[in-house]
Structure 1
Amino acid sequence: MNSFQQIVESVESLPLEDQEILLEFLQKKIQEKRNDQVKQEISEVREEFAKGNVKWGSVDDFLGELEQP
């Protein structure tokens, strides 16, 4: 039996109230990780912008850039 299956079985053996508490805890942790990822991406974009590696334009401008050799 793999560890994921063991975790699932352990959670299923908990009382419903404890399962709900665990679920809320996991949802908060997942949201925190997503927030951290967004913050990291924003930081990277700001760095690229500061270096002058970001271009502004319309979708047509972007598509035109793709068509150039």
Structure 2
Amino acid sequence: MNHITEKTSNFAEALEVIETLSLPEQQTLIEIIQKRISLKRRGEIAASIAEAHEEYKAGKTRRVTVDELMAELEE
């Protein structure tokens, strides 16, 4: 079984298991997943900010005003 088929199969199996849960259990599961997604996104944002700080310290980026940035984007 290839990787994509395996993931699809695992996803289908997970959905089948979720269907066996009561509605309150499904709602709790949704809340848990939403919180985990939020935490993961926060981690990604924090990593992106840290990377931007390092690039700034290394001179790979520079400070600009909003007007300067918009002008650069329009070029």
Which residue of 38, 47, 52 maps to 1:45? 52
The structure whose RCO (Cα within 8 Å, separation 6+) is larger is: 1
TM-score by length of 1: 0.82
TM-score by length of 2: 0.76
Runs of 4+ residues over 2 Å off in structure 1: none
Deviations 1:15-62, CA, capped at 9 Å, x for gaps: 0010011000000000000000000000000000011111233122x2
RMSD: 1.8
Structure 1 vs Structure 2: percent identity of aligned residues? 30
Give the Cα separation in 2 of the matches to 1:63 and 1:27. Answer: 34
Which residue of 14, 23, 40 maps to 2:21? 14
Give the 3 Å change call, closer, same or farther, for CA 35–63 of structure 1 in structure 2.
closer
| Runs of 5+ unmatched residues, structure 2 | 1-7
Establish whether residue 32 from structure 1 lines up as the match of residue 39 from structure 2. Answer: yes
